[in-house]
Amino acid sequence: MLFLSALSAAWLAVRPRIDVNPENLVVGRRSIAWASIRRVDQTNWISPLVVHLALVDGPPLRILYPGHADQCRQLLRLIQQRCTQALINGVPHSRIFGEPAQPHVERPAPPPPRVLSDEDAAEVERMFQILRSAGRLDNDDK
């Protein structure tokens, strides 16, 4: 029994390295674009993490990550979030995470709506000047 435990520990230790990049998932020497992953299925195992990936081209890929439970959850979450075109355990990505965030483009504020025509604005200005010259407006200098 001890021999089997040692053998399985050694096998887990030589598993290929897994890197998560913004552009792709790297498993060992193999690089997989996020857009080429069509399905992400997880097993009930959390540690070690076992994830099945269905790809657009090529055979399915099984990822085995023998890390701590928190690290396994973090890796699974990263894979699921980045596979925006995949089904996550049979559910579309957008139903789980919402639509991918679009970059916010700052738009200039629209000009204020015109309330008065040019002739009416000139008339209001003329009446304001008449009232001011007659002393009918309160001065702000008090």
pLDDT band for position 7 (cuts 50, 70, 90):
confident
Structural domains in the chain, sorted by start: 11-95 (2.30.29)
Share of the chain above pLDDT 70, in %: 85
What whole-number distance in Å separates Cα of residue 57 and Cα of residue 61?
11
What type of residue sits at position 121?
A
- Contacting residues for 90 by C-beta, under 8 A, at least 6 apart: 39, 41
Tens digit of each residue's pLDDT (9 = 90 or more) over 47-61: 788 899 999 988 898
Residue 92 CB neighbours (<10 A): 12
pLDDT band for position 117 (cuts 50, 70, 90):
confident
**Confidence at residue 126, expressed as pLDDT on a 0 to 100 scale:** 92
* DSSP bridge pairs for 88: 40, 91
pLDDT band for position 6 (cuts 50, 70, 90):
confident
SS3 state of residue 23: coil
20-34, 65-79, 124-138: least confident range? 124-138
* DSSP bridge pairs for 51: 42, 63
pTM exceeding the 0.85 threshold for the entire prediction:
no
Nearest to 62 by CA among 79, 40, 81: 40
